[in-house]
Amino acid sequence: MEDYEIRGVTELFNTWQGEGPRMGKMCTFLRFKKCNLHCEFCDIKHKLENSKECNCNIIEDVYEKIKSTKYLLISGGEPTVYNNQIYKILDYFYKYNILIGIETNGLFINNLLKKVDDLIFNKNNGIPPLFNLEFYWSPKIFSDNSHEGVKYTTLDWFEHQLKVVNNYISDIYIKLNNKFKSVPQIINLYIKVLCSDSLDYENIIKISTKYINNENIYIMAEGVSPIDLIMNSVKIPNLAYKYNVNISSRLHILHVVP
Ligand code: SF4
């Protein structure tokens, strides 16, 4: 009997995706508790510090909730701190025709891709999963490099990590196509750039456009309240026009979605 007990989850409910390429799409939202960074503009840190882990049967609850949404959105905190738990979720839903999205700051995304590779090629003999997997990577590269615990997230690190992650995704795609012809792209990477003054956002956009299709890049304004978000959104269209990338609102900050 496989162990599908999922630990570290603080919230599980149906809502709408608040930002990025799937903004406004109904989803089953699963939130993990811990994060490996300490961003000063974090809109969730305080809530997470005071949250309790769910003691329900997460997999069965997800199974019930996902029937109406077909879209599991894994967020945090930082989900990739919980890569072993995500592996169990991907394993359980391997044969379900659903979309699984993972919000991430990118620090451990390569470790998760190793696990995805293992799940496909070792556990399932190269038979592709029915789910589609999307990563929504929001890089946290600070402009003054003085934030606690984030000194290692430099622009050089970001560029290197982006190359590594891209290689992992294309390797998986090539290996699948060597085995079965015309396998669709089941793993997609999106970059969501938060245009906060404390982040080196313009350089993040520049590096992203070197490695990722512009259509997979979204920029969005900082803000932990609706008024902040609206005020900070003014510069977004010009910036998006300059780099030919997409823009996104953040519906949860506007309180349009919970
Ligand atoms: S990476 Fe995200 S969840 Fe973690 S502290 Fe920064 S903004 Fe908050």
What pLDDT is recorded for position 92? 97
CA dist 207 and 34 (Å) reads: 28
How confident is the model over 158-211, as pLDDT tens digits?
A: 999 999 999 999 999 999 999 888 888 999 999 999 999 889 999 999 999 999
The Å distance, Cα 193 to ligand 1 centre, comes to 13
Amino acid at 14: N
pTM over 0.85: yes
Domain boundaries, the chain: 9-247
Contacts of 1 (CB under 8 A, 6+ apart): none
Task: Looking at the CA of residue 38, tell me the nearest atom of ligand 1.
Answer: 5
**Considering the chain, what is the average pLDDT of its residues?**
93
Q: Which residue has the tokens 């982040």?
A: 199
Residue 149: band (very low, low, confident or very high) from pLDDT cuts 50, 70, 90: low
| 8 Å CB contact between 33 and 48 | yes
CATH fold group of domain 9-247 = TIM Barrel (3.20.20)
Is residue 150 scored above 70 in pLDDT?
no
Exposure class string for 60-91: b at 16+ Cβ within 10 A, else e: ebbeebbeebebbbbbbbbbbbbbebbbbbbe
Amino acid at 52: K
Query: Greater confidence, 55 or 186?
Result: 186
Q: Helix-strand-coil percent breakdown of the chain, rounded to 5?
A: 40, 20, 40
Give the SS3 label for residue 178: helix
Closest CA to 194 of 217, 161, 170: 217
What pLDDT is recorded for position 144? 72
Query: Is the backbone peptide bond immediately before 77 cis, with ω within 30 degrees of 0?
Result: yes
How confident is the model over 100-109, as pLDDT tens digits?
A: 999 999 999 9
**Ligand 1 test: best mutation among 10, 34, 36, 37, most atoms within 8 Å of CB?**
37
The Å distance, Cα 71 to ligand 1 centre, comes to 22
Query: Greater confidence, 189 or 142?
Result: 189
Is residue 50 scored above 90 in pLDDT?
no
